[in-house]
Structure 1
Amino acid sequence: MNRVFRFLPALPALLASLLFASAALAHHGWGSYDADKTMTFDAKLAEVRWGDPHAEAEVDHQGRRWTVVLAPTSRMQARGLPEGALAVGKTLTIVGYPRRDGSAELRAERVIVDGKTVELR
């Protein structure tokens, strides 16, 4: 019984490290995007996922459904882009970098919504 209690003080640290490790695995690095190939296009929002670590949008461009990785929601709100500004069906201009592997995903650097440019990075 003494052996079990000996590890109890380390339990909170162990749980915290597991929590942070899972968050780190869920977040991807920006190295998978090609910063040498800037894409700029207008697209209508088909879907919006407002959440962290990054909000995401789905748009149709050149016959493909693209996932657009946006900024953290707190940053977008602080820069004047509240959740309601990204409504399904709204057209916006997206400037960003495509994934290096050719999949239809874009890391957005900025968006232009209703004539307002919002820097995301």
Structure 2
Amino acid sequence: MKRRTAISLALLPGLLPLARAHHGWSSFDQERPLYLQGRVHSVRWQNPHAELVLELQSPLTLPPDLAQRALPAQTAPVDGKALLARAQLPRRKDPRWEIELAPLTRMQAWNVTPLKVGDAMGVLGFAFQEEKGAAILRAEYLFVGARIYGLRSSPA
């Protein structure tokens, strides 16, 4: 028993950064969808989910057609039209935001081509409650060129 505990404790320091880096949905304000648009500054296409840093365009504005965009069907019950209609710009003025995308298996199911530094994109998602802490957005919808991807679940 002591030997197993020692082995488990030895692995703990390596696992702590992974546990701290991965967030559940409960810490994000799902009542206030935010829209960001800009260019990819850096990308990490890895599990537990793909991530990127988005350098925001200036000035940041809501696209006039955002609420009318046709959204793809997905297996999760997401009221995408309501999210688009309620979309807001963030209150905080950080020039860069970390964007948490979906797990790689879901990105592959949507046929999302791995993004590259310099790619232009938009994203609708959720920040931490009251936008406190790091400038992190958990993506609900990803807008790349003419394509829109629903990231909560797989395509329907």
More strand per residue: 1 or 2? 1
TM-score range for the pair, normalised by the shorter chain length: 0.7 to 0.9
Higher relative contact order (CA 8 A, sep 6+): 2
Structure 1 consecutive aligned stretches of length 4 or more whose deviation exceeds 4 Å = 6-9, 19-26
Identity percentage of aligned residues: 35
1:63/1:51 CA distance change after superposition, 3 Å: same
Residues paired across the two proteins, number:
114
Select 1:35's aligned residue among 22, 30, 36: 30
Q: Which residue of 2 aligns with 1:54?
A: 49
Cα shift readout 1:73-111 (whole Å, capped 9, x = no counterpart):
11111111032xx11101111000111224211000010
**8 Å contact from structure 1 (residues 44, 88) kept in 2:** yes
- 5+ long unaligned stretches in structure 2: 57-92
1:63/1:21 CA distance change after superposition, 3 Å: closer
Q: TM-score, normalised by structure 2?
A: 0.59
User: What displacement does 1:27 show?
Assistant: 2.8
Q: Which residue of 2 aligns with 1:65?
A: 96
Cα shift readout 1:18-66 (whole Å, capped 9, x = no counterpart):
x999865653212111111111122110111100001101012344211
Q: Which residue of 1 aligns with 2:151?
A: 120
RMSD of aligned residue pairs (Cα, Å): 2.9
Equivalent residue letter for 2:117: V
